[in-house]
Amino acid sequence: MKIVVTGALGQMGSRLIRGLPFSFPGSAILMLDNLYSRRYGSLLDLPCEGNYRFLEADILDADLCALFEGARAVVHLAAITHPLPADSLETMEEVNVYGTERVAKACASVGAPLVFISTTSVYGKKEGTAEEETAEDLNPQSPYAQSKLKAERLIRGFTDQGKLESVIFRFASIFGVSPGMQFQTAVHKFCRQAAAHQPVTVWRTAFRRRRPYLELKDAVRAIEFVIQNRLFGGDIYNAATTHSTVEEIIQIIRRRIPSLALRFVDSALMNEWSYEVSSKRLANCGFEFQGNLKEEIHHILSRLEHSPADCSKTSGARGGLDF
């Protein structure tokens, strides 16, 4: 039996592929990535317990049916989250929507269950707590969130027609160390700037607004949990370890780096309001969130203080070198 991971060398994938051999002993792990973000280091020091195969492949043109044949699950992480300047919104749409449609069709064709990673940003501006099934909660503001919601609806369409086994995760903003770590999201950006003794840049309007965050180990464990328990009935699960304000995150960092300086900036970014999400559906299935924001921030800072920061501007979800 095998498990396929698209976007395997990115921030989440590079951590997931290191955990799979221990959660699914003996399984073949097929890693697909086209190294779009050049995260070659994600392939270094893989655990010897893993039965790995890496393949240069782009979800837009690969023979996905052949690659997915016999898979216990396909974990679809490949996406453009933070486009390079050369990328257009059309490119993001092509990868995140059309690419996901190709993945879903291939899974349906060969009978491989699909684990799709979406984002809590699909809720957009929300009063109160967002639940998975409240249609009026879905108001994505950013192009990335809009593309993820379109992809969700494609997958739900195949599943509702009985053509596909699937599960959709809406993950909160990720924080935590991984070989393919990126530094665009709030926690990682703040830690990088603080460790480099730079002023931490904070959106003026977002300082005291509360947002959901998901510790990377919890993200990996949640993916493994649904595969182990075969939760492929087409349900959607929110996943958030904690909710926090930027001010609270800064206070944690400042305990370790008292000299931290703030620089408030104005931003036209559209998803800068407070919102919370409920993860009760996943918890009711028996999953327990174990992450700790304070501990993981200290872990990130420890790693940054002893190694150069990788300030790449891409997500690592599309990659590609042939091995």
pLDDT, tens digit (0-9, with 9 covering 90-100), for 51-104:
999 999 999 999 999 999 999 999 999 999 876 666 678 888 999 999 999 999
Does a structural domain hold residue 308?
Answer: no
Cα dist from 305 to 42, 52, 180, 193, 216, whole Å: 20, 31, 17, 11, 20
pLDDT band at 268 (very low <50, low <70, confident <90, very high): low
Other CB atoms within 10 A of residue 56 CB: 14
- 179 vs 8: CA distance, rounded Å: 11
> What letter does residue 26 receive in the DSSP assignment?
T
Does a structural domain hold residue 246?
Answer: no
Please compute the mean of the pLDDT values over residues 250-254 and round it to a whole number. Answer: 97
pLDDT band at 38 (very low <50, low <70, confident <90, very high): confident
Please compute the mean of the pLDDT values over residues 160-179 and round it to a whole number. Answer: 96
- 213 vs 285: CA distance, rounded Å: 20
Identify the weakest region by mean pLDDT among 30-39, 224-233, 252-261.
30-39
Does a structural domain hold residue 262?
Answer: no
- Mean pLDDT score of the chain: 89
Does a structural domain hold residue 288?
Answer: no
| Strand 233-239, strand 166-171: pairing | parallel
Instruction: Compute the residue count for the chain.
Output: 323
| Strand 210-215, strand 242-245: pairing | antiparallel
Residue carrying structure tokens 């703040």: 190
Identify the weakest region by mean pLDDT among 12-26, 139-153, 271-285.
271-285
Please check the confidence at residue 272 and state whether its pLDDT lies above 80: no
Closest CA to 53 of 77, 76, 28, 71: 28
pLDDT for the residue numbered 136:
62
Cα dist from 214 to 49, 195, 241, 269, whole Å: 27, 22, 5, 21
More confident residue, 150 or 90: 150
CATH of the domain at 77: 3.40.50.720
Domain of 59, in residue numbers: 2-174+213-239
Burial (CB < 10 A; 0-12, 13-18, 19+), residue 110, is: middle
Please compute the mean of the pLDDT values over residues 220-225 and round it to a whole number. Answer: 98
pLDDT for the residue numbered 85:
64
Does a structural domain hold residue 64?
Answer: yes
Within 8 A by CB and 6+ apart from 260, the residues are 194, 200, 250, 253, 254
- 258 vs 306: CA distance, rounded Å: 18
The proportion of the chain whose per-residue pLDDT surpasses 90, expressed as a percent, equals 71
Does a structural domain hold residue 104?
Answer: yes
Q: How many domains does the chain have?
A: 1
DSSP assignment of 165-231 equals -EEEEEE-EEES--TT----SHHHHHHHHHHTTPPEEEEGGGTT-EEEEEEHHHHHHHHHHHHHTT-
pLDDT tens-digit readout, 284-314: 999 999 999 999 999 999 999 875 544 433 3
